[in-house]
Amino acid sequence: MRSTDDSANAPLIGLFVGGQSRRMQGVPKGTLQLGGAGPTLIERLVDACRQAAPGAPLRLVGEHPAYQALGIPMLADARADAGPMAGLLSLLREAERLHRSHAIALACDMPYVTAPLLEQLLDARKQAPIVSAKRDQRWQPFFARYAVATVLPVTERLLESERWALQAVFDEVSAQSLSLSEAPADLLRDWDTPEDCE
């Protein structure tokens, strides 16, 4: 756990709660519960963030009334029709507004993310424009740290040119892979269908 004295230099942490949840019959993923009981997925993630980075500002990326009780400010997507890229742009713009050099992007549908796992992401080398975990050889853009000064203009340009796949950001900006053993990488499993919740 980090000291709250470091909070002025802490990254902005964005918890992505957008999306239609069509494969979950419209139920917002963050409101699901592990094992059907206890804290919701979003509550678990908020708790992990506050343990790993006390004092770091949190934002919900995406707007839904189901999350209002958390009391965490929500960010609307920079553009309504551009998918997750528009959410990332909103997060980076908010980080710039708050004078934060880095932003962390986390998906709300990863129920197994822990505070120690987040600390690895926070502690990774600061020089890389993007630090992201890989799982099954694929970048995990919603378990990643972004350098605002480098990635913000790239994301704005890609959105304007209607290149909306998040992989395009990784193609344009050199990313560093967060080295994880197989067991921690398995904690990045997300929930996409009702069967995942069983």
Domains in the chain: boundaries: 4-197
Question: Residue holding tokens 């419209």?
Answer: 26
Superfamily in which the 4-197 domain is placed by CATH: Spore Coat Polysaccharide Biosynthesis Protein SpsA; Chain A (3.90.550.10)
User: Which amino acid belongs to residue 129?
Assistant: P
HSE value, Cβ hemisphere, 13 Å, CA-based, for 78:
21
- b/e per residue 4-33 (b: at least 16 CB within 10 A): eeeeeebbbbbbbbbbebeebeeebbbbbe
Position 77 confidence tier, pLDDT thresholds 50, 70, 90: very high
Pick the more confident residue, 190 or 13: 13
3-class secondary structure per residue, the chain: CCCHHHHHHCCEEEEECCCCCHHHCCCCHHHCEHHHCCCEHHHHHHHHHHHHCCCCCEEEECCCHHHHHHCCCEECCCCCCCCHHHHHHHHHHHHHHCCCCEEEEEECCCCCCCHHHHHHHHHCCCCCCEEEEEECCEEEEEEEEEEHHHHHHHHHHHHHCCCCCCHHHHHHCCEEEECCCHHHHHCCCCCCCHHHHC
Q: Whole-prediction pTM value?
A: 0.87
Which pLDDT score is estimated for 181?
Answer: 63
Is 36's pLDDT higher than 90?
no
Q: What percent of the chain has pLDDT over 70?
A: 83
Which pLDDT score is estimated for 6?
Answer: 59
Q: pLDDT tens, 110-160?
A: 888 999 999 999 988 677 899 998 877 888 999 999 999 999 999 999 999
